[in-house]
Structure 1
Amino acid sequence: MTQPFRLLLRVRYGECDAQQVVFNARYGDYVDVAATEFYRAVFGSYQALLEQGLDSQVVRMVTDWSAPARFDDVLQLEASTLRLGNSSFTLQVDIRRHSDQAAIARSEITYVMVDAQAFTKTPIPEVIRAQLERGAPDVTVNQAG
């Protein structure tokens, strides 16, 4: 059975708040790191996208929380393409505690494909669309140390 793209991250002390859980704004950082690593796995590198004259800009991000993450937890972020539009696409990032697979949060992050020079909206080219549809199954990036 194929697994979605996975990124493993360890929660650092400085990412926690006064309640001793991961501060809510840090989840945006985690999702951004997962999306960047997903890009690397799907396109070869972020630079490879730029070399095609393309870039992407975040236009929406929504996170729903289920449980807290705490200092030293290893988080497993699973990224996959949820939706593909004409010029936009949405990634879904599920965040789980790696040790017991408990659901922590789910984020949806929507990007608009833009011309890398003019920063104007542009349709997603078919080759990029196919890469996003395929995703990066069975790829795990371990940054948990």
Structure 2
Amino acid sequence: MARADFRFSYPKRVRYSEIDAQAVVFNARFLDYLDIAVTEYLRAVGVPDPAGVEGLAQFVVARTSIDYKASVRLDEEVDLCIRLARAGRSSLTFAFEFHGKGGEDLRAAGETVQVHIDDARQSSPVAADYVALFEAYEGRSLRA
């Protein structure tokens, strides 16, 4: 994907605690970065409660894949780009890319699938008005 395919990005500076002995971001930290990206994206979209408490939509991660393209170093700034790629009956699939600050310098890319659950922690349909928030933000239909 081109960086221009992402309407939303969030800047992140690499901290010392995020690097490994080679002075690059430890691979597992990319999941932390993804969590930050999802949370900030939900805020930008206007999801009333990104944490999913107080009876609003709750989701669990079903799958995440990451392709590592290039290292990220201490004190470097990266742009966490994310978008809702598609909405299924009971799941949302997010596409993400992490780039060097302000550019097309791709460091990692992937997708994560989150499944909507009910109070019994069973898969349940995603409400149409919830998906409509994302469609309004992204300016396109997202239903699979």
Instruction: Using structure 2 for the length normalisation, give the TM-score.
Output: 0.84
Distance 2:7 2:73 in 1: 24
In structure 1, stretches of 5+ residues that fail to align are 138-145
2:90 corresponds to: 87
Are residues 91 and 3 of structure 1, via their aligned partners in 2, closer, same or farther at CA, if it must alter by over 3 Å? closer
2:50 corresponds to: 46
CA shift for structure 1 position 136: 6.1
CA shift for structure 1 position 111: 0.2
Instruction: Using structure 1 for the length normalisation, give the TM-score.
Output: 0.83
Of structures 1 and 2, the one with the larger relative CO (CA 8 A, separation 6+) is 1
Instruction: Choose 90-99 or 23-32, whichever is displaced more.
Output: 90-99
1:134 corresponds to: 136
Aligned length: 135
1:143 corresponds to: none
Identity of aligned residues (%): 33
2:66 corresponds to: 63
CA contact (8 A) 1:31 1:107 kept: no
2:106 counterpart letter in structure 1: A
CA root-mean-square deviation: 2.1
Residue 130 of structure 2: SS of its match in structure 1? helix
In structure 2, stretches of 5+ residues that fail to align are 140-144
Q: Choose from 29, 38, 45 the match for 1:35.
A: 38
2:20 corresponds to: 17
CA shift for structure 1 position 99: 4.9
Residue 25 of structure 2: SS of its match in structure 1? coil
2:34 counterpart letter in structure 1: V
